[in-house]
Amino acid sequence: DDLPRIIRAGRHIAMPKRYIPGLAVDLEDESQLPEAVRQQARLGDGWVKLVGDWIDRSVGDLAPLWDDDILRAAIDAAHSEGARVTAHVFGEDALPGLIGAGIDCIEHGTGLTDDTVEMMVEHGTALVPTLINIETFPSIADSAGRYPRYADHMRDLHARVADTVGRAHDAGVPIYAGTDAGGSIEHGRVADEVAALTAVGLSPTDALGAASWNARRWLGRAGVEHGAPADLVFYTEDPRTGPDVLAAPDVVILRGRIW
């Protein structure tokens, strides 16, 4: 009872050599995806995460991992288990199939276009843009000298991310804060992500809500209401004024206990 609650998505699901080695469940054939999704749905806390695209070294650029029909079957399988599905997606090409298949959320989403933004609005698909993660794209590109198309693509996605996320927000796509921490990004930087969301067009209130009350509601957790767990942070200054204030609450209450 003295630790924050974590909502897990189980392990990523990918194909061999199409994600960070050792992290994902690698399927030998995409026909295995619906059953793998069912298994991860039963192991997680209501979420499953797919790898939607990754570099395909045979073509030298980002490419989708799954056919559209398989995606529809897999996402239907997750929903039948009471789970939602999100996907790692950097580029453009994987997005129509994922959104059209009924995916619930897109992580990163740097390849969103006007057409796929419109699809997200129509389907109610959420976006977690992980803006502080996108700042690593230039260094990823610099280390990809063997794949110049991929490197150029990553630099281009980075260069236009503010416009991409800003247009998604303006169109009405639900946006939530996520840092993609745990690899090259240290945990504890959600305040920086909130600041980054304001820089691409969210109001300070909306950006803060994307990391707190709106995110809780989206994840199915109670907010500030009678009978809800007393999980609260208090500030003497307005936390919307900047990341330094937001990152240093004056009082933390976890399930009614002051820390």
Each residue's pLDDT tens digit, 111-136? 999 999 999 999 999 999 999 999 99
What integer pLDDT is reported at residue 163 of this predicted model? 98
Architecture of the 13-227 domain: Alpha-Beta Barrel (3.20)
Contact present, 133 and 179 (Cβ < 8 Å) = yes
pTM: 0.96
181-206 tens-digit pLDDT: 988 899 999 999 999 999 999 999 99
Q: Which residues of the chain have pLDDT under 50?
A: none
What integer pLDDT is reported at residue 1 of this predicted model? 67
Closest C-alpha among 16, 20, 47, 11 to residue 30 = 16
Neighbours of 23 (CB within 10 A): 13
What integer pLDDT is reported at residue 94 of this predicted model? 99
What integer pLDDT is reported at residue 25 of this predicted model? 98
Contact present, 93 and 53 (Cβ < 8 Å) = yes
Provide the residue type at 66 as one letter. Answer: W
Strand partners, 62: 55
What integer pLDDT is reported at residue 229 of this predicted model? 86
Contact present, 240 and 204 (Cβ < 8 Å) = yes
- What is the three-state SS of the chain? CCCCCCCCCCCCEECCCCCCCCCCEECCCHHHHHHHHHHHHHHCCCEEEEECEEEECCCCEEEECCCHHHHHHHHHHHHHCCCEEEEEECCCCCHHHHHHCCCCEEEECCCCCHHHHHHHHHHCCEEECCHHHHCCHHHHHHCCCCCHHHHHHHHHHHHCHHHHHHHHHHHCCCECCCCCCCCCCCCCCHHHHHHHHHHCCCCHHHHHHHCCHHHHHHCCCCCCCCCCCCCEEECCCCHHHCHHHHCCCCEEEECCEEC
From the number of C-beta atoms within 10 Å of its C-beta (0-12, 13-18, 19+), residue 169 rates as: buried
What integer pLDDT is reported at residue 103 of this predicted model? 99
Cα 23 from chain centroid (whole Å): 16
What integer pLDDT is reported at residue 3 of this predicted model? 82
From the number of C-beta atoms within 10 Å of its C-beta (0-12, 13-18, 19+), residue 24 rates as: buried
